[in-house]
Amino acid sequence: MTGIKRQSEKHLIVASGRAFPELADEVVSLLGVELVPTRALTYANSEIYVRFEESVRGADAFVIQAHPAPVNEWLMEQLIMIDALKRASAKRITVVSPFYPYGRQDKKHAGREPISARLIADLYKTAGADRLMSIDLHASQIQGFFDGPVDHLIALPVLEEYIRTHYPLDNLTVVSPDAGRVRLADAYTDRLGAPLAIIHKRRDPNKANEVAVGEVVGDVRGRVCLLVDDMIDTAGTITAAAHTLKEHGAAGVIAAATHPILSGPAAERLNSAPFEEIIVTNTLPIPDGVNVPKLTTLSVAPLIAEAIRQIFEDGSVTSLFQGASL
């Protein structure tokens, strides 16, 4: 026999950026491993430096980074971590971005605009990523932007389980806050066995740059309405929808969203809106200074941990969602 034959075991490592280390700590705890010791610095001129303090050669590496504000800083840190892993001879690098940065810029709405979501995918690939994992992409077509396997995880089972155990389903109506979220709302109706209603937003011709929340398509009077969306940013759309539902006779309004961006006036709007509860996940940290007493945060760490385990063991990620799809 010529050559050298080496028996070696696969080696899983998990690295975390500094944006939301608490999520990464929960993930590695569930996996029964520790985070790779990492030295990360931000210099006085805002440049970022990263060094892994143990060998990653031949490893199956997963790089977890949340992308709250400032998004660009945390994105750059993740790209630098990927580059460091590639140059240190990691065998495979999987990007774990629970909230995909620039995901809302997935197509051109007018001439001379970028498709920034595609640019982010190209940056990940150029840095050295082999695989991408994210939760509830704003647009499913983003999966096609990355030249490699994309694991599109779904938070619906996590949110559904909580709703089932805390609210009676016989008086529940799932509501899409606008036409763009109907497909998401439809997935909730399939899982919960609840009817669907849609809020039709129309522009007031007498007011420039303002959206008037108008008609409710479906029966909401006397029912508990579950408003669903993939994210809550400034909370303008979802709070306006909540007021509209109450005006149309809803007995109660709750909200469920995967990504709690909660920018600017979000806390004030949510606190003044007629919500019984606002249910989100921890794909992003709740920003400092944001206090919303009615906010409930569910963890997606078990979902991420199991997806990492399935990828590492060459198993099935799709099997985690019990037939759910978006």
Tokens, residue 160: 């559904």
Residue 323 has pLDDT above 70, yes or no: no
Per residue in 63-117, pLDDT (tens digit) is: 999 999 999 999 999 999 999 999 999 999 999 999 999 999 999 999 999 999 9
Which amino acid type is present at position 274?
P
Angle between helices 301-312 and 21-31 (to 10 degrees): 50
Report the percentage of the chain scoring pLDDT > 70. Answer: 92
Q: Which of 72, 116, 67, 54 is nearest to 95 (CA)?
A: 67
**So which residues are the catalytic ones?**
201
pLDDT of residue 17: 98
Mean pLDDT of 192-205: 84
Binding residues for Mg(2+): 138, 178
Q: Is 8 exposed, middle or buried (0-12, 13-18, 19+ CB in 10 A)?
A: exposed
Neighbour-count burial for 281-295, b at 16+ CB within 10 Å, e otherwise: bbbbbbeeeeebeeb
The 10s digit of each residue's pLDDT in 18-74 is 999 999 999 999 999 999 999 999 999 999 999 999 999 999 999 999 999 999 999
Helices (H), the chain: 21-31, 71-87, 116-127, 156-166, 182-192, 236-247, 266-272, 301-312
Mark the binding-site residues for ATP, compressed into ranges.
45-47, 104-105
DSSP 130-142: -EEEEES-SSGGG
- Average confidence (pLDDT) over 192-204: 86
How far, in Å, CA of 103 to CA of 224, rounded?
Answer: 31
More confident residue, 130 or 212: 130
Query: Residue 209 — pLDDT band, cuts 50, 70, 90?
Result: very low
Query: Domains plus CATH for the chain?
Result: 12-108+115-153 (3.40.50.2020), 156-201+213-298 (3.40.50.2020)
pLDDT at 2: 67
Instruction: Give CA 122 to chain center in angstroms.
Output: 19
The tokens 């979902």 sit on which residue? 303
If one counts every other C-beta atom within 10 angstroms of the C-beta of residue 250, the result is: 22
Question: Does residue 8 register a pLDDT over 90?
Answer: no
pLDDT exceeds 90 at position 213: no
**DSSP state for residue 26 in the 8-state scheme:** H
User: Residue 278's pLDDT band (boundaries 50, 70, 90)?
Assistant: very high
pLDDT computed for residue 322 by the predictor: 65
- Predicted local confidence at residue 3, as pLDDT: 65
Q: Residue 215's pLDDT band (boundaries 50, 70, 90)?
A: confident
Is there a contact between 102 and 120 (Cβ–Cβ < 8 Å)?
Answer: yes
**Arithmetic mean of pLDDT, 161-183:** 95
Contact present, 286 and 261 (Cβ < 8 Å) = no
Going by pLDDT thresholds of 50, 70 and 90, the confidence category of residue 206 is low
Tokens, residue 227: 């408003």
CA distance 286 to 293: 12
Instruction: Check pLDDT > 80 for residue 308.
Output: yes
**Amino acid 37: pLDDT:** 98
Note the pLDDT of residue 276: 98
Residue-level pLDDT at 201: 72
Residue 67 is predicted with a pLDDT of 98
Binding residues: 45-47, 104-105, 138, 178, 203, 229, 233-237
Residue 93: other Cβ atoms inside 10 A: 24
What is the per-residue pLDDT for 180?
Answer: 86
Over residues 254-266, the mean pLDDT reads: 98
Mean pLDDT (the chain) is: 94
